Amino acid sequence: MEKARSRRGRQIRNFAAQFSARLPLLSVFLCRNYLGRILAGELEKNRNGGPAFSVDSTLALRALGARSRFRLNPLAIGACLPPYCRVGRETARLYDYFLASGDLKSRREDIRNNVIYREMAELCEYGADFRLMPLYADFVGHLAEGRPLTRYRVPLDSKLKIDEYFMMYLDLADSIKRRGLRSREEFVKSEKALDRWLAPKGLRSNKTEWFERDIGLAVLEDGSLAFNGCGQHRRALAMVLGLGSMPVEVQMIHKDWLAGVWKKSGRPTALEALEEALEKLRARVEAGLYFCSSEEA
């Protein structure tokens, strides 16, 4: 039985390696072609009162590839956007969309007031004694009232699940201390990636693991940056532990900003203007020339 299971595991690994080696070039070409065709149309719709949120973020990020990814000082940005945002009559989960419009700057909040940041800060302070944390008592209080808090869309409806939640991030904090914070691309290429996807899951489902991304950034209407929904726990741990850099990804941009950079660039297409702007942004960030405190945000 063990030999059959081991053989099956090798077969899955080989298939995954072959699949990932062939799919990227085709999918990037198709996604980039599609994104190039729709960007100008979306900007036109925005001028005429079109939808506040549009373009699937997975498709856009696949098309942009490494242009949207770089490493950033965790303390360079002091503000984040909420996971959900309402513009006019539309309410959207920001994680799902690449283009946004409306007033996003006023929806930012100080990172230090973010509940996930506070949880991770207390966890790093208390360590293995996390059950003594004030926020742990808050989780238990909600459980006693019959209103368990939810993480990863899973109600933490028992002390066992609450413990599992904090122990999971205690292990992650220990890993980050020893190895730093790896990008998702580096993790996917590691030997442990497939083992984690196939292993029985507790709070984090296989779907959550599979679609996980790097820590998200949003480019707002004036070109300033704010953290977006993805990777909140990793982002908080990187800040609390004082890492020098962490992997991030521009996962959402404001339509007004894109329209402005396209006009200034003189490029024939919005996609070319966007790629050029992202290259410049990455150069600034990696050179340490971008820094926005929470007070400025």
CB atoms within 10 A of CB 203: 14
Q: With 70 as the cut, is the pLDDT of residue 293 above it?
A: no
- Tell me how far apart the alpha carbons of residues 15 and 31 are, in angstroms, rounded to a whole number: 23
Specify the pLDDT at position 220.
Answer: 94
* Beta carbons within 8 Å of 78's beta carbon, 6+ residues apart: 110, 111, 112, 292, 293, 294, 295, 296, 297
Q: For the chain, what is the domain count?
A: 1
Q: What pLDDT, on a 0 to 100 scale, did the predictor assign at position 58?
A: 85
Treating both helix axes as pointing N-terminal to C-terminal, what angle do 134-144 and 159-179 enclose, rounded to 10 degrees?
150
The answer on pLDDT for 116 being more than 80 is yes
pLDDT of residue 279: 94
> pLDDT at residue 200 above 80?
no
Neighbours of 20 (CB within 10 A): 11
Indicate whether 294 pLDDT > 50.
no
Give residue-wise pLDDT tens across range 137-161: 999 999 999 999 999 888 999 999 9
On whether residue 55 sits in a domain, the answer given is: yes
**295 falls within a domain:** no
Tell me what pLDDT residue 201 has.
56
- pLDDT score recorded for residue 207: 64
Residue 293 lies in a domain: no
Distance of CA 136 to the CA centre of its chain: 25
> How far apart are alpha carbons 243 and 74 in whole angstroms?
7
**pTM score, two decimals?**
0.83
Give a yes or no: residue 297 inside a domain.
no
Counting other chains too, the contacts that 30-35 makes at CB distance below 8 Å and 24 or more residues apart are: 31/59, 31/60, 31/62, 31/63, 32/63, 32/64, 32/271, 34/59, 34/63, 35/59, 35/60, 35/63, 35/64, 35/271
Q: Is residue 276 part of a domain?
A: yes
pLDDT in tens, 64-103: 988 999 999 999 999 999 888 877 777 888 888 999 998 8
96 domain-assigned: yes
pLDDT at residue 31 in the model: 80
What pLDDT sits at residue 192?
58
The answer to whether the CB of 24 falls within 8 A of the CB of 189 is no
Residue range 207-228, pLDDT digits in tens:
666 678 899 999 999 999 999 8
Q: Which residues contact 122 (CB under 8 A, 6 or more apart)?
A: 130, 133, 134, 135, 136
For the segment 239-262, what is each residue's pLDDT rounded down to a tens digit?
999 999 999 999 999 999 999 999
247 in a domain, yes or no?
yes
C-alpha span between 54 and 36 (Å, rounded): 14
Rounded mean pLDDT of 10-25? 47
Among the listed residues 261, 255, 274, the one whose alpha carbon sits nearest the alpha carbon of residue 52:
255
Contacts of 17 (CB under 8 A, 6+ apart): none
Give the residue among 237, 275, 277, 279 at the shortest CA–CA distance from 70: 279
Alpha-carbon gap, residue 21 to 117, rounded angstroms: 37
- Look up tokens 């942004």; give the residue: 281
Q: How far apart are the first and last CA of the chain?
A: 58
Predicted pLDDT of residue 158: 94
Q: Determine the pLDDT at residue 50.
A: 79
Higher per-residue pLDDT: 281 or 287: 281
Task: Provide the pLDDT for residue 203.
Answer: 72
pLDDT of 20 over the 90 cut? no
Which residue range(s) make up the domain with 117? 2-286
Residue 292 lies in a domain: no
Residue 203 and residue 16: Cα distance in Å, rounded?
A: 25
